[in-house]
Structure formats: C-alpha cells, structure tokens
Amino acid sequence: MDAPFIDAEARVRSLDPEGRLLSAELLAGGVSSHIRKLVFQTARGIEAVVERHPKVMPGKPPPAERAALEAALLARLPELGIPAPRLRRFEAPETLVLDFLEGVTDPPPGAPGSLIGPMARLLTALHRPGPEDGLPAMRTFTDPLPDLKAWRPDLFPADAPARPDCPPFDCPPFAGPPRLLHGDFWTGNLLWREGRLTGLLHWEDACLGDPMAELAAARCDLHRLYGVAAADALADAYAALAPVDRARLAWWDLYMPTAQLTFMDGWGLAPEELAHVRAAMTERRDQALAALGRG
C-alpha cells in the first residue's frame, strides 16, 4: 500500500505558511506506521518534523484509534517529564506530525551493559504516572490469562485433574493501581544521543496496566539481542529502583514471547530476521514455562 502522505510542500505550509521545504525522506523501520521526515526553513531557523500514519496491524486497534490516543497522550507527557516527541499537529483520523528528535536507535557502545541502567531508570520513571495524573482514557492491561488461554489452550485444559504434586497453574492477582505503560518498549523505540538515552518513540500502544508486563517486554527484547543474562540484569536494575512482583513477572515472561510468536508473521520482517526472532522467543517462552513448572 502506498504511504498516505499529502504533498510535502503542502505539509510544510500547513505548519508555517512561510516555510520552505528543504528535504523529504521516507524513513525505514516503520513496522506499524508509515513515517516521513521533513526538513524545512522558517524565520526561526531550520526545523524538522516526522509525519506518521499508523498501519492496520494484526492484534492492534484500528489506525485512527491508535493515532488519536497517541496525540492525546503526547500532549500530556511533557508535563510528566517523560522524554517523548512534541506533538505539532494531529489531523483526524490518523495523521500525526511530531518534532523530529535527533539521535539514533542503535544501542550505544558497550551494550548490553551500557543499556541496562538507562533502560531501568526510564522504565521506573514511565511507570510512576497513573490515572490520577490527567492521562487520557486508555485500555487497562493487567491480566495475562485471557490472552494466554486463547493462544495456548493446551496449557489450561478444563478437565485437568487436581493433583497434590501439581500446583494450580494460575497467575496471582494484580494489586494495582495501574500505571502508565508505553506498550511497545524495546530498543527500536529508544533514542540515544552521545551515549545518553534521550527519547522514547511511538506511543500508539500506550495503556494503563501492570508495570511487570512492560518489564517483561523489555526483557524479551534484551534476550533477543544479548541473551538471558541481559534480560535478568534489567530485572535486577529495575528492582533496585522500584518494586518487582517476581510471581507476576514470571507470568508476563510467558505472555510476552507467546504474544510475539502469535503475531510476528504479520510484522513484515525479512525472513532471516523473522527466523532469528522466532528462535529467540521460542527459547524465552520455553524458559518461562519451565520457571512456572510447566517445562
């Protein structure tokens, strides 16, 4: 499908009637969105914005719903001290225009060690706000069981006999209250500049929920890149800054790779990358099952 962008010069004029387009560039790596960068000259100097249009994605809400949520949230995040792009314009149903943030998504030198501390600090800062902080209405994400039962009904047979040597396979309840979750916290959405973590991109999947879900998602990504030791180091670094519910984390550690294995065929990954991600998430899922006594 062709990217749904208006003429680049028209977009610049919509932001500044006296603006003069210098360059327009489609950005690669937009799995869930079409993305374009525009650089233009104004009386204030040279400026750059990113225009985004969410795509239809398996397992996600419709593009217009995701775009509206992201716009409302980005308008609030600066007051909460969360490093996110500034919203320039939202044109319903699904056009977002954001300030372009300088930096790279490539991990800094010395990874994974150089990643762990900054990621843990950003996660704990992100998880402080909640509904009481004027956030827009969002879905709540606190229970891994409904999706897991749909994806892996074999793990929850209705006729399984109760046995004293086999403890109930059930997740402890969420104690709440729900916190802000980015919803897609992985290294591809982290922005680095001069070795510092300076931005968190792509907020379309944000929700209110269990911080252990997002910690588990970040652990999945580190496992994919660097192995289980890096994933465990992140949990330890997070625990030094905020509470970690290890019992619930174990369930989210099962949920996250299972979700990826369920939907990754629709991500548009190259065959080699898809095979790598599938192998890593299969390993992580199996390790999680073993930790929960079902290996």
Q: pLDDT per residue over 63-112, tens digit each? A: 999 999 999 999 999 899 999 999 999 999 999 999 999 999 999 889 89
Do 21 and 120 sit in the same domain of this protein?
A: no
- Alpha-carbon distance of 200 to 27, in angstroms, equals 17
Shared-domain flag, residues 90 and 123 = no
Mean pLDDT for the chain overall: 92
The domain total for the chain is 2
C-beta separation of 34 from 3 below 8 A: yes
153 and 280 part of one domain: yes
38 vs 18: CA distance, rounded Å: 15
Give the residue among 1, 5, 6, 53 at the shortest CA–CA distance from 32.
53
Instruction: Kindly state whether residues 221 and 275 are assigned to the same domain.
Output: yes
**239 and 202 within one domain:** yes
Whether 155 maps to a domain, the answer reads yes
d(CA 35, CA 27) in angstroms, rounded, equals: 5
Claim to verify: residue 146 and residue 225 sit in the same structural domain: yes
Q: Domain holding 75: CATH number?
A: 3.30.200.20
pLDDT of residue 294: 86
234 and 282 co-located in one domain: yes
Residues 135, 281, single domain; the answer is: yes
Residue 1 is assigned to a structural domain of this protein? no
Instruction: Tell me, yes or no, whether 230 and 164 share the same domain.
Output: yes
The token pair at 277 is 């991600």
Residue 165 has pLDDT above 60, yes or no: no
Residue ending a domain, among 99, 134, 162, is 99
CATH code of the domain in which 174 resides:
3.90.1200.10
Contact residues for 269 (Cβ-Cβ < 8 A; gap 6+): 31, 277
Residue 2's pLDDT band (cuts 50, 70, 90): low
Instruction: Tell me, yes or no, whether 177 lies in a domain.
Output: yes
In 3D space, the residue among 27, 171, 190, 36 whose CA is nearest the CA of residue 105 turns out to be: 190
Residue that is last in its domain, among 99, 127, 157: 99
User: Each residue of 231-283: pLDDT tens digit?
Assistant: 999 999 999 999 999 999 999 999 999 999 999 998 888 999 999 999 999 99
- Residue finishing a domain among 41, 73, 99: 99
Q: Is the peptide bond before 112 cis (omega within 30 degrees of 0)?
A: yes
**In this structure, is residue 2 part of a structural domain?**
no
Supply the pTM of this predicted model.
0.91
Check whether residue 92 and residue 117 sit in a common domain: no
* Parallel, antiparallel or unpaired: strands 20-26 and 207-209: unpaired
Annotate 27-39 with b (16+ C-beta within 10 A) or e (fewer): eeebebbbbbebb
Q: Which ranges constitute the DSSP H helices of 32-133?
A: 63-74, 113-126
Same structural domain, 124 and 150 = yes
Domain containing residue 283: 113-291
- On whether residue 173 sits in a domain, the answer given is yes
Question: How far, in Å, CA of 182 to CA of 209, rounded?
Answer: 10
What pLDDT is recorded for position 168? Answer: 61
Is the residue at 140 inside a domain?
yes
H or E element at residue 24: strand 20-26
In a domain, 223, yes or no: yes
Residue in this structure with the two tokens 């749904």, named with its chain if needed: 4
CA-closest candidate to residue 173, choices 212, 222, 217, 137? 212
- Verify that 80 and 134 share a domain, yes or no: no
- Answer yes or no: is 108 within a domain: no
- 179 pLDDT band (50/70/90 cuts)? very high
The pLDDT, as a whole number, for residue 103 is 93
